[in-house]
């Protein structure tokens, strides 16, 4: 960390800079002199070699006649999941190495007593070359501290003789969480570092793929170079989606016109997919229809049978035929339910019921299947799709809702499935409504009734 050198230079300290890249060391040395260091020497060395370590310490003492602070900062990291490591000679487990450092220097501090002070620094995410890697960049939402700020804190702490320093300071909260409730800490750490499946070359079957969320889920899988089996009733639309998916990167796409409400169709499209590709890795149960109407205005209940047939039974039929093939591949099932399964949106009673049935069924199935097949239950709110545009939601004064784009929702769904999440709610702000239902259900139901029933009746009367 060159900024530690600059911080010591500001305080007028003389420096011995050690690293393997001599050209970079010279640049740091020149700047340190400009900042205020009265003397700087550069020693190109590799700290992994015993003879190099002996050499640079001796050069420092021979040149300056003394040594006051030793900053052990050199480090490397290779970020990967342990199960993906193929050559252990390339593998550096930063967690294990840093734990060993802490244990060693705590022991050494006990042995030295007051003769030599030892400050153990435990940085969190700091903006540096090491934190710019591809994997760490996925956690850009975690607050990172500037290298300069961390370096200043380190030198201050060393000069104060502190035993420990954690930067950024908010990371200490996690230390206390680990001490007081380690299970919660490990669950959280596991959740944010889940292995994201590489679906390139894998086979994804998507129902309801001719439009809306299903169409864009197909495009998102295509961008990840997955093979696709697209299912819907409208063959002409499926062909258009298939052509676009190929352009986006899918190596192979097949189209199977089918009606998920028919048992024989569901068996047929699963069989055709497996016969063509020889495997099935993900099943995306997306097909769905809706009808918006107050329950008391309903006259022909037979008109509502298709909602349950497609939304619920269509997913059940598809899943039943796919499970044997998914089990062989340790595959995944993605279920498109809806926030209205628990939000009780007026005018959607039959649709809401079909989605609630989906959630209950697949939660039970997840318990039955165990770890053999992953199940991600997706509960979208209002998404800008063909279904939402064709409904009377705008007439029901729902335009104030912050709808999420279909593309954004599809990207979140595929990412969630690849991580193996149990649940996903999109847009994420809809989770607030879920907590409202738990904490104050009366308030939520009054608000929904006033907004989607009373308000409309009032506007009609006026």
User: Catalytic amino acids?
Assistant: 351
Torsion of CA 161, 163, 169, 171, to 10 degrees: 160
Residues 6+ apart with CB under 8 A from 294: 346, 347, 453
Alpha-carbon gap, residue 256 to 277, rounded angstroms? 13
Three-state secondary structure string covering 125-138: CECCCHHHCCCHHH
C-beta separation of 199 from 226 below 8 A: yes
Backbone phi, psi, residue 423, to 5°: -140, 150
Residues 6+ apart with CB under 8 A from 321: 266, 267, 270, 271
C-beta separation of 243 from 219 below 8 A: no
C-beta separation of 230 from 255 below 8 A: yes
Alpha-carbon gap, residue 379 to 345, rounded angstroms? 14
The vertex-312 CA angle with 311 and 316, nearest 5°, equals 125
């Amino acid at each position: 960390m060159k900024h530690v050198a600059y911080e010591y230079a500001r305080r007028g300290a003389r420096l011995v800079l050690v690293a393997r890249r001599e050209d970079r060391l010279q640049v740091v040395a020149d700047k340190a002199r400009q900042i205020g260091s009265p003397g700087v020497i550069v020693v190109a060395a590799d700290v992994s070699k015993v003879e190099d370590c002996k050499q640079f310490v001796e050069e420092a003492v021979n040149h300056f006649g003394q040594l006051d602070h030793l900053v052990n900062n050199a480090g490397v990291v290779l970020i990967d999941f342990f199960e993906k490591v193929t050559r252990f000679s390339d593998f550096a487990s930063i967690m294990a190495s840093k734990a060993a450092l802490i244990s060693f220097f705590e022991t050494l501090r006990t042995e030295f007593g007051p003769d030599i002070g030892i400050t153990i620094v435990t940085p969190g995410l700091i903006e540096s070359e090491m934190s710019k890697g591809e994997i760490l960049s996925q956690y850009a939402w975690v607050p990172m501290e500037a290298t300069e700020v961390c370096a200043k804190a380190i030198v201050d702490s060393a000069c104060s003789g502190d035993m420990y320093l954690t930067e950024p300071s908010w990371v200490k909260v996690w230390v206390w969480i680990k001490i007081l409730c380690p299970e919660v800490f490990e669950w959280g750490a596991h959740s944010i570092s889940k292995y994201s499946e590489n679906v390139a070359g894998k086979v994804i079957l998507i129902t309801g793929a001719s439009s809306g969320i299903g169409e864009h889920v197909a495009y998102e899988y295509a961008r990840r170079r997955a093979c696709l089996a697209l299912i819907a009733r409208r063959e002409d639309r499926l062909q258009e989606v298939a052509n676009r998916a190929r352009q986006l990167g899918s190596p192979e796409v097949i189209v199977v016109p089918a009606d998920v409400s028919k048992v024989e169709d569901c068996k047929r499209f699963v069989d055709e997919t497996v016969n063509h590709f020889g495997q099935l890795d993900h099943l995306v149960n997306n097909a769905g229809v809706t009808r918006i109407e107050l329950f008391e205005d309903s006259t022909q209940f037979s008109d509502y049978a298709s909602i349950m047939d497609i939304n619920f039974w269509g997913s059940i039929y598809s899943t039943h035929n796919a499970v044997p093939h998914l089990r062989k591949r340790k595959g995944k099932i993605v279920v498109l339910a809806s926030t209205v399964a628990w939000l009780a949106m007026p005018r959607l009673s039959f649709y809401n019921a079909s989605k609630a049935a989906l959630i209950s069924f697949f939660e039970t199935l997840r318990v039955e299947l165990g770890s053999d097949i992953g199940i991600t239950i997706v509960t979208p709110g209002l998404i800008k799709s063909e279904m939402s545009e064709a409904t009377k939601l705008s007439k029901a004064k729902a335009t104030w809702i912050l709808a999420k784009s279909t593309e954004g929702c599809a990207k979140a769904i595929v990412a969630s499935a690849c991580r193996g999440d149990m649940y996903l709610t999109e847009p994420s702000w809809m989770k607030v409504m879920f907590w409202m239902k738990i904490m104050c259900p009366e308030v939520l139901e009054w608000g929904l009734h006033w907004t989607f029933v009373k308000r409309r009746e009032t506007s009609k009367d006026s």
